[in-house]
Amino acid sequence: MHKSKSISLNAPRAIIIGGGATGCGVARDLSMRGFKVTLIEFGDLGSGTSSRFHGMLQSGARYAVSDTEYAAECMRERLNIANTAPEVVEQTGGLFVTLPDDPEGFDDRFYTCCQEAGIPVKELPPEQVMGEEPNISRKVLRAFSVPDATIQPWGLVNLLADDIRRRGGEILTRHQVTDIDVTAGRVRGVTAIGQSGERRIEADVVINASGPWSARVASLVGETANIELGKGSILVFSHRMVSRAINRCRPPTSHDIIVPTGTISLFGTSSEVVDTPDTTHVRPEEIQELLKNAEPLIPNIRNYRAFRAWAGVRPLFRPQGWDSDKPLSRRHSVINHGDNGIDGFYTILGGSLTTHRSMAEDIGDRICQHFGLNESSKTADIPLSKSSKKSDWHPVGNYKNVEKTQNFGSPICECESVNKEDIVSLIESHGINHLHDFRRRSRVGFGPCQGTFCGSRVASLLAEYDSEYPSKNDLGKFWTERLKGSIFTSWGQQAKQLVLSDSIYRETLGIRLDKDILPVEDCR
Amino acid sequence: MKTDVIIIGAELDGLIAATRLVEYGYTVRILAVGAGSLHYSSAGEHVLGFDSSEQMVKNPFEAIESLNSHHPYRRIGTSNVRLALEWFYKKNDGSNILSVSPAGLGIPVYRALPWQATFDDIKNKNATIVQFRNHGDFTAHLASNELNRAGYKVSVLEFEAPDVFSKNAALAKSFDRLEDPASFFLGLKESLSDETEVLLFAAVMGFKDHQRIMNEAEKIIGIPCREVSTLPPSIPGMRLDDDLTSNLKQQKVSIHSGVKIIEHRSNGSHCIAVTDDIGRSYEASIFIVSTGGVLMGGLDIDSHGNVHETSLGLEVYQSEPLSAVSVDTSLHALHMAGVETDNELRPLKGYRNVCVTGRSLSHWNPAQESSCEGVCISTGWVAAETAHNQLMGMKNG
């Protein structure tokens, strides 16, 4: 195999199914090892589980007691991401607090296990913590600081994708794999259908990295994947009511964490086993359960403005013979379907966004071994960032920029402080032509108004650049999609906001709800 | 000092009730937290634009029968709706026309506001929409894109506004202050293509001097000039609000702003007085609740999903469940919540000398029906009639 940067003509060809953090991580790892990669994603990059969680970059402390070895892996990876992609990481720090209800003695074990896992843990006086975090309970008994952080999931996935493309890899979004070709016990390629039609792509190795959809993809070749689908729902509040990610100091279960991200906070996570990976509907009872369980940690939580709820489906690996009462490990697992006579087909399961890189390294090692290649992973050492400037992501970065440039003239999105120039540069440099793509790239429509004011402004800019832009349909889709997440939180101020938004879209603009995507069952 | 009537809230319906009541010669006091939702509305004259199956309505009066039987229009009856709208709009032919929205789509209105752009204005004509630079609350390119794809001929002219302001209210006031409107419109005319036959502006062309500015524009440019509504705040809504409140003030109606009602006194069957959040008490014979529903805080929804009426603690209708069956049903439930009343707009359960109007009423959906102004005007008018009858009754015995 050639060691040049360009892809050799006889380079092994890999197809990765799934464009979340795992799939993108695997694609990057393999392209750095000289593979010619094609990544196929059913929806948009990072639109599944990768963006449907609380956005934490785990120090591993959460799993220190239950799985010290995995906790140590999280800590190593957390440091690595912060070094290689600082612009998508906010160094919030994390806290674990013991409240009167939490099991006695857990905190001592927690402290010891963090030390064993190599997680820098420090006990802080409760008075100090309650002083620094005025919104949390006044009943904190003990508190520990750990180096948790938060991450911009779409930022990470886009950095990985840009890097894959730079190395000559191909990324197909909005393409569904309909067939995996297996001939004479070997995988030969896949068939995918996209907007431009059906396409057959040849490959020497196919990696199923489709998270909760893994079992569905594996079934295309009659294979199974041992996953348990754990739906987790999250409630979003319009204030940054804590400055650090705060966990209850107890065995990790549900409803025990609040995470500040950007200008907002997320409380989560509920947990229930579901049948299908498409179940991202948050039921009213789940919202009540989240609120009830948040109150011991944040007593005044009902008086904060919740403006959205979402759910993601975790693809947890369930080893055979696992005791059903025991919580499933968060570790990942690689299935080599070659053991069942399908040479070159792999499935990667479990893990987390924090460990996406080490997961990719693990499967990359196995694949290289299979091909007899002596190429080791380089992802830990080569920065993901394009710029050499190392600055962390900052929640008020946009606002600071407005102050610096004194450009108050053309705000498009007041909630997230996005200007006309930001949108125009996305249109001109990335050819983005749908409101959803703008949202993921620029945070337009992420804030408390949920696209009430910015939707038509962005659509007007798009219409200015593209006379074929289907403004009525795109606005209808955008608004209906935003409503799907915010309708769950129609109380207090957000109920007013929803009525105002409805008045603007239907009465003033004349946009109707998009009937095709109306049901709360998600269409991703 | 006791007045005949106290109106809680300064919504369109409250202002209409007050206007009607001073015509009868009653003393009226308006107690409001702040300005009403006219500042948010597109302030077209929406009476009934869509029926319950979302089909566009040609004749609003004929479509009233298709609405749910508790709908405010059904409660007060079509004949009262006709009387109220004739009184306010001086029009009774019962037909809708299509106004042009800032997204280039058609919105059915009962009557066009003065200078409001309609599809008749641009049909078979070359139209130009003026986009003032940096005016983010107006979307000329969006409108022209949609209209062109629908077969109309519309282009956009980017032009400097008379002042650097980029917000609706400031822009409107800059037109009021414009010392030499003639030379401004002359400059605009020079930038226009000769083919332009009709000119569309954002609805920010003057606030108090709107008529003068638009007359001047048409005179100088020499073609019809029209206005298209904007994102909120709505200048046409503010103009209407200003017209109504100025007239009421002239009629010696006291309008108290910044007053939040937190308590009331009753004798069991009747409300006697209301008290505000700094302890001032106001007495009246009749109380009209015009508090703007969920949008304006007249109805509050708690985190358990229960709806409360915030001024007098009236019982509220709400459909179960309020949230998350599907987007449209949940959104519909938000609008449908409100106070249920008899045909004279008195709450089914509660005080006999109270009327409820507008967005605080149950069983209607202004966004889906496009019926906001029609319901507000007609329920405000009926509440005034109910108050009049009751006050006459008290006087006579």
- My answer on whether A474 and A508 are in the same domain is yes
Residues A213 and A77 in one domain: no
From the candidates A508, A512, A513, which should be mutated to test the interface with B, based on the most B CB atoms within 10 A?
A508
Evaluate if residue A266 carries a pLDDT over 60.
yes
pLDDT in tens, B196-208: 999 999 999 999 9
Helix ranges restricted to H, chain B = 12-23, 60-63, 72-76, 78-89, 119-122, 140-149, 168-177, 181-191, 210-221, 235-250, 293-296, 327-336, 366-369, 372-396
Nearest in space to B325 (alpha carbons), one of A269, A484, A506, A450: A484
Cα–Cα distance measured from residue A286 to residue A264, given in angstroms and rounded to the nearest whole number? 20
- The average pLDDT across A50-69 equals 93
- Model ipTM? 0.95
Total tally of structural domains belonging to chain B: 2
Residue in B146, B229, B305 nearest the CB of A508:
B229
**% of chain A with per-residue pLDDT over 90:** 64
Answer yes or no: do B386 and B242 share one domain.
Answer: yes
* Contacts B368 to A, Cβ<8 Å: 506
Are the CB atoms for B137 and B231 separated by under 8 Å?
A: yes
User: Is residue A175 included in any domain, yes or no?
Assistant: yes
pLDDT digits (tens, 9 = 90+) for B30-78: 999 998 899 988 768 999 999 888 899 999 999 999 999 999 999 999 9
For residue A507, give the nearest of B46, B149, B304 by CB distance: B46
Average pLDDT over residues B213-230: 97
Q: Is residue A138 a part of any domain in this protein?
A: yes
Same domain? For A192 and A267 the reply is: no
What local confidence, expressed as pLDDT, does residue B289 receive?
Answer: 98
Chain B residues within 8 A of A490 when measuring between CB atoms = 301, 305, 322-323, 330, 334
pLDDT band at A520 (very low <50, low <70, confident <90, very high): very low
Shortest distance between the Cα of B364 and any Cα of chain A, in A, equals 13
Whether residues A510 and B301 touch (CB distance < 8 A) is answered with: no
C-alpha distance from B141 to closest chain A C-alpha (Å): 5
Amino acid identity at A448: P
Give the minimum alpha-carbon distance from B299 to chain A in angstroms, rounded to a whole number: 9
B245 and B352, same domain (yes or no)? yes
Residue B274 has pLDDT above 70, yes or no: yes
For residue A325, tell me if it sits in a domain. no
Whether chain A has a CB inside 8 Å of the CB on B327: the answer is yes
Same domain, A163 and A40: yes
Domain total of chain A: 3
Q: Which of B119, B138, B142, B307 to probe by mutation at the A interface, max A CB count within 10 Å?
A: B142
Same domain for A419 and A471, yes or no, is: yes
| CATH number of the domain residue B167 falls in | 3.40.50
Domain residues for the domain of B190 are 117-228
Q: Are residues B67 and B125 in the same domain?
A: no
pLDDT digits (tens, 9 = 90+) for B103-138: 999 999 998 888 999 999 999 999 999 999 889 899
- What distance in Å separates the CA atoms of residue A143 and residue A205, rounded to the nearest whole number? 48
| A402 is a domain residue | yes
Contacts of A468 (CB under 8 A, 6+ apart): none
CATH number, domain containing residue A361: 3.50.50.60
Residues B212 and B271 in one domain: no
Residue A389, in any domain of the structure:
no
Q: Is the pLDDT of residue A521 over 50?
A: no
Q: What are the chain B neighbours of A458 within 8 Å (beta carbons)?
A: none
Do A246 and A125 sit in the same domain of this protein?
yes
Let me know whether A137 and A233 are in one domain.
Answer: yes
User: Per the domain annotation, does B102 fall within a domain?
Assistant: no
Closest CA to A475 of A446, A504, A440, A442: A504
Residue A204 belongs to what domain range? 13-48+154-227+330-371
Q: What is the structure's pLDDT at A437?
A: 77
> Checking phi first, is residue A421 left (phi over 0); if not, alpha (psi -120 to 50) or beta?
alpha
Answer yes or no: is A323 within a domain. Answer: no
Has residue B104 been placed in a domain? Answer: no
Q: B298 pLDDT band (50/70/90 cuts)? A: very high
- Check whether residue A274 and residue A422 sit in a common domain: no
Of A313-322, B154-163, B351-360, least confident by mean pLDDT is A313-322
B143 part of a folded domain: yes
- Greater confidence, A430 or B25? B25
Query: Quick one: A250 and A174 in the same domain?
Result: no
Residues A96, A238, single domain; the answer is: yes
For A28-52, what is the mean pLDDT? 93
How distant is the Cα of A486 from the closest Cα of chain B, in angstroms?
9
The residue of A509, A520, A521 whose CB has the most chain B CBs within 10 angstroms, and thus the best one to mutate to test that interface, is A509
**Shortest CA gap A490–chain B (Å):** 7
Are residues A313 and A425 both part of a single domain?
A: no
- Per-residue confidence band for B151, with pLDDT thresholds at 50, 70 and 90: very high
Do residues B258 and B321 share a domain?
yes
Note whether residue A354 is domain-resident.
yes
| Residue at A349 is within a domain | yes
Q: Tell me, yes or no, whether B208 lies in a domain.
A: yes
Over the stretch A451-478, which tens digit does the pLDDT of each residue have? 899 999 999 999 999 888 999 999 999 9
Residues B79, B122: one domain? no
What percent of chain B is predicted at pLDDT more than 90?
A: 84
Residues B296 and B378 in one domain: yes
pLDDT digits (tens, 9 = 90+) for A391-440: 666 766 767 776 777 666 677 888 877 888 888 888 887 777 788 878 87
Residues B223 and B313 in one domain: no
**Residue A9, pLDDT above cutoff 80:** no
Do A188 and A58 contact (CB within 8 A), yes or no? no
CATH number of the domain that residue A132 is part of? 3.30.9.10
- My answer on whether B222 and B253 are in the same domain is no
